[in-house]
Amino acid sequence: MPAGLVLLDKPEGWTSHDVVARIRKVANTRRVGHAGTLDPMATGLLVLGVESATKLLTFIVGADKTYGATIRLGASTITDDRESDFLERATPEAVSKVTLPEIVSAIGELTGEIEQVPSSVSAIKVNGVRSYAAVRNGDEVKLKARQVTVSKFDLVGEIRHVDGFIDLDVVIDCSSGTYIRALARDLGSKLGIGGHLTALRRTRVGGYSIEQAAPLPEVGTALNLISSYEASKAFPTMELSEQDVIDIRHGKRLKNPNALQGEIAAVRDGSLIAMLTPLGKQLKSLVVFND
């Protein structure tokens, strides 16, 4: 099986692990991984690596992301989304008093560099146990706040009053590690009426967009594979000489005459050779692709 990335539009109801299991069957290989989970409720872009391209996932998982979401104001839930029972529900009178300027102001407070407490039902480990597993076992979980960046938190269209709730559609650009469920929770908390997520769709991961994604393939069908070389175009690239390739494969460092910064894709004759990073005036390899 050739190495490469697979960009999929994950359907609702599937876990990221379910999708990996399907792609393993389609590609007939165990060597499949993904660059960041999506909850079963969520849909949208899931980036997977096949064979040696799984090494690329390390450089994609930390990329910033874009989401479209629907937030329901008026109730908080155990999981901060519609997949669990209400913790508290505001009265219709309290919800009706919340104004659009107040919502916009609260959204502004959740934009930029913020301290966010992740949702308790998350994959974060506490004392070696996944937070979501501890919550389901009835344990109380308190996670530490972490700094995340929400570079865009925009209302889309008009707010809607539905059955004593306020529904609003938003578009969010954020750093890796940001929990959109937690943004919904915190928005409702700031407004004093609670909030949770009712829909979530990821539309971008770094340089990859949902427009590039394919539907989940059936077993026995062809896999829409992006070669490692094509995938590397999402990074700054550097064309290598034949001697450079030899040096990299022997663990040597290269000169950095153009003062390249960040993670750099080193290529030669249409093949991805390595991912490099600056070290002083040189470039050292982070990972080398032998195939």
Each residue's pLDDT tens digit, 69-116? 999 999 999 889 999 889 999 999 999 999 999 999 999 999 999 999
The answer to whether 185 and 196 have CB atoms below 8 angstroms apart is: yes
Exposed/middle/buried for residue 145 (C-beta within 10 Å: 0-12, 13-18, 19+): exposed
Q: How far apart are CA 48 and CA 61, in angstroms?
A: 10
pLDDT of residue 36: 87
Domain architecture of the chain: domains with CATH? 4-63+206-228 (3.30.2350.10), 68-195 (3.30.2350.10), 235-288 (2.30.130.10)
Q: What is the pLDDT of residue 235?
A: 87
Residue type, 274: A
Q: What is the pLDDT of residue 187?
A: 98
Residues 20 and 30: their CA atoms lie apart, in Å, by 9
Residue 170 near residue 153 (C-beta atoms within 8 A):
yes
Provide the pLDDT for residue 122: 55
CA 135 to CA 228: how far, in whole Å? Answer: 39
Q: Can you list the alpha helix ranges (DSSP code H) found in the chain?
A: 16-27, 57-60, 92-96, 100-109, 131-136, 180-191, 228-231, 242-249
Q: What distance in Å separates the CA atoms of residue 160 and residue 162, rounded to the nearest whole number?
A: 6
The closest of 72, 70, 67, 39 to 152, measured between CA atoms, is 67
Render pLDDT for 142-194 as a digit per residue (tens, 0 to 9).
Answer: 678 999 999 999 999 999 999 999 999 999 999 999 999 999 999 999 999 99
H-helix or E-strand containing 94? helix 92-96
Which residues are the active-site residues? 39
Q: Are strands 165-174 and 65-73 parallel, antiparallel or unpaired?
A: antiparallel
Alpha-carbon gap, residue 41 to 18, rounded angstroms: 13
pLDDT in tens, 9-42: 999 999 999 999 999 999 999 999 999 889 999 9
Q: What is the pLDDT of residue 115?
A: 96
- Give 126's pLDDT tier (boundaries 50, 70, 90): very low
> Average pLDDT in the 224-248 region?
90
Token couple for 282: 């040189």
What is the tens place of the pLDDT at every residue in 52-72? 899 999 999 999 999 999 999
| Per-residue pLDDT at 261 | 83
Is residue 138's pLDDT more than 70? no
